[in-house]
Amino acid sequence: MKLASYLTQGVRSYGIVTPDGIIDLGRRLGHRYADLKALLAGNALPAAREYAAAAADLTLAGVTFLPVIEYPDKILCVGMNYAAKRLEFNEINPAPTLFVRFADSQTGHGTPIVKPSHSAEFDYEGELAVIMGQGGQDIPAARALSHVAGYSCYMDGSARDWQHTWFTAGKNWRQTGAFGPYLTTTDEIPDPHALSIRTWLNGLMVQNDNTGSMIHHVAELIEYISTFTCLHAGDVIITGSPGGVGKKRTPPLFMQAGDCIEVEIENIGRLRNMVIDAAAPAAGAAARAAASC
């Protein structure tokens, strides 16, 4: 099952994505679960599945996608988690590298990504996002995957010239983290470490790897993170980017206004966004994004 968050006629909702369109769960379950995060917190995926065979209410073209979880309590990001990426950055620290991204730095599928006006090194990073369905603390790796609701794509846009001795300043400019198009539930992804992960910039494949190349696997990350913080339903763990980032190319390759950036993860989905300048008018930028990317 694939679940999306979106705007329809200016109203926030969520639903099941099917080949025929979207089954709007907001109109069916919204009185009990206001959004997708609340649905997960209420352990209500079975209630959603009851409508999986219903006729579609909306077309994909008729909605504006929001981040899959618009306001997670936590967005925890993992750095240097692929072998090729560690080689690019000469990373030797064996422990997981963690940083945070704030919820208001996100944007949805098909909506503009905003290039920070103060950055000349705006880089792409395609990543697997893990969405928690059940929280907890001190979760052992042996049962960590049972706490996961599903997976999605993430484009963790990075202002490299704002990453110095810490990552947070380079990761939290508005609308730099694209999250979507939807959450694919775990029953469709039996092994999160057997998936191809690819990134395209203007049609050029710039990252190409497999999630099996992660140094720290999803279950291990959940165990590690839940040791020091309590995870909650709807929390998001972004599991790191493969090699091939623009910063380490010769010459460097950074995103510019007008670029189209895409992240595709096997059996999960393809996230697509257009890059705009921070000064671009929002309404015109959204129209250009829809038309050009």
Q: What is the largest CA-CA distance in the chain?
A: 54
Return the closest-CA partner of residue 104 out of 160, 39, 176, 167.
Answer: 176
Q: Summarize pLDDT for 229-272 with one digit per residue, the tens.
A: 999 999 999 999 999 999 899 999 999 999 999 999 999 999 99
Q: What is the per-residue pLDDT for 88?
A: 78
Q: What is the per-residue pLDDT for 281?
A: 56
Which of residues 168 and 197 earns the better pLDDT score? 197
Domains and CATH numbers, the chain: 2-65 (no CATH), 75-292 (3.90.850.10)
Q: Summarize pLDDT for 16-49 with one digit per residue, the tens.
A: 999 999 999 999 999 999 999 999 999 999 999 9
Q: What is the value of pTM for the model shown?
A: 0.94
CB contact at 8 A, 197 and 242: yes
CB contact at 8 A, 198 and 126: yes
Strand partners, 116: none
**H/E run at residue 168:** helix 168-171
Q: Summarize pLDDT for 45-74 with one digit per residue, the tens.
A: 999 999 999 999 999 999 999 999 999 999
Q: What is the per-residue pLDDT for 291?
A: 46
Which of residues 81 and 293 earns the better pLDDT score? 81
Q: What is the per-residue pLDDT for 57?
A: 97
Model confidence band, residue 286 (pLDDT cutoffs 50, 70, 90): low
CB contact at 8 A, 120 and 133: no
Distance in angstroms between the alpha carbons of the first and the last residue of the chain: 26
Which of residues 95 and 114 earns the better pLDDT score? 114
The span from the CA of 77 to the CA of 65, in Å, is 22
Q: Which two tokens stand for residue 4?
A: 């999306």
Q: Summarize pLDDT for 199-240 with one digit per residue, the tens.
A: 999 999 999 999 999 999 999 999 999 999 999 999 999 999
Mean pLDDT of 84-94: 77
Report the mean per-residue pLDDT for the chain.
93
Q: Summarize pLDDT for 127-173 with one digit per residue, the tens.
A: 999 999 999 999 999 999 999 999 999 999 999 999 876 788 999 99
Q: Which of 71-80, 82-91, 284-293 has the highest mean pLDDT?
A: 71-80
**Residue 102 pLDDT greater than 80, yes or no:** yes
Strand partners, 276: 114
